[in-house]
């Protein structure tokens, strides 16, 4: 089995450890498990979706979110495509987000919720490289700029 890329590593996890959870997280007060198969599927969906949106190798993707299970999956999806993840602290103000987005020349940004989305929409006109905003939990109906992870 080839372990020369991220997919090879995840596939090894599926083959060797699928009886064990790949990730465990709390959801609505209960512990939830994500199998290696589920992880592989989610990472592939995120990676494929980014490619369809136009992500190329070495493109940067910002991630404006608290630590959560989706953060890890998104990060793995970006890395699987050869992209570069640029985390932004959710406590950052809009001007700090603007600097990081522009300095990294990010083409995409994942935002956790409406609060983070508002920051990015506030600075959108001053972030020329940014082509899509993807929300992890909430979207804006009818917007071509904002997509939802699901």
Query: Residue 40 sits in a domain of what CATH number?
Result: 3.40.50.980
Q: Which structure tokens are listed for 99?
A: 């600097």
Confidence (pTM): 0.88
Q: What percent of the chain has pLDDT over 70?
A: 89
Q: Comparing 114 with 75, which gets the higher pLDDT?
A: 75
The pLDDT value recorded for residue 27 is 86
Q: Which structure tokens are listed for 13?
A: 């996890």
Q: Which structure tokens are listed for 57?
A: 């190798």
Cβ-based neighbours of 30, under 8 Å, separated by 6 or more: none
Q: What is the pLDDT of residues 12-23, one digit of tens each?
A: 888 899 889 999
Answer whether residue 120 is part of any domain: yes
- With tokens 């020329």, the residue in question is 128
The pLDDT value recorded for residue 105 is 98
The pLDDT value recorded for residue 85 is 97
Answer whether residue 33 is part of any domain: yes
- Asked whether the predicted pLDDT for residue 86 surpasses 50, the reply is yes
The pLDDT value recorded for residue 143 is 55
Answer whether residue 1 is part of any domain: no
Asked if residues 147 and 134 have their Cβ atoms less than 8 Å apart, the reply is yes
Cβ-based neighbours of 117, under 8 Å, separated by 6 or more: 111, 133, 135, 138, 140, 146
The pLDDT value recorded for residue 142 is 46
Question: What is the arithmetic mean of pLDDT over 45-68?
Answer: 94
Element (H, E) at 62: strand 60-64
Local confidence band at 74 (pLDDT 50, 70, 90 cut-offs):
very high
Which range of residues forms the domain containing residue 76? 6-148
Answer whether residue 83 is part of any domain: yes
Answer whether residue 115 is part of any domain: yes
- Asked whether the predicted pLDDT for residue 140 surpasses 70, the reply is no
Asked if residues 62 and 111 have their Cβ atoms less than 8 Å apart, the reply is no
- With tokens 């630590």, the residue in question is 67
The pLDDT value recorded for residue 141 is 54
Domain count of the fold of the chain? 1
């Amino acid at each position: 089995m080839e372990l020369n890329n991220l997919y090879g590593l995840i596939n090894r996890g599926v083959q060797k450890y699928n009886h064990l959870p790949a990730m465990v997280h709390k959801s609505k007060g209960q512990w939830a498990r994500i199998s290696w198969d589920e992880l592989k599927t989610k990472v592939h969906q995120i990676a494929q979706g980014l490619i369809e949106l136009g992500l190329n190798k070495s493109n940067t993707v910002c991630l404006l979110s608290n630590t959560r299970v989706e953060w890890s999956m998104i990060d793995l999806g970006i890395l699987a495509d050869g992209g570069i993840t640029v985390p932004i602290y959710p406590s950052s103000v809009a001007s700090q987000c603007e600097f990081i987005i522009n300095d990294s020349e990010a083409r995409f940004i994942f935002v956790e919720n409406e609060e983070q989305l508002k920051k990015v929409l506030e600075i959108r006109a001053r972030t020329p490289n940014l082509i899509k905003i993807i929300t992890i939990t909430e979207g804006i109906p009818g917007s071509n700029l904002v997509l939802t992870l699901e």
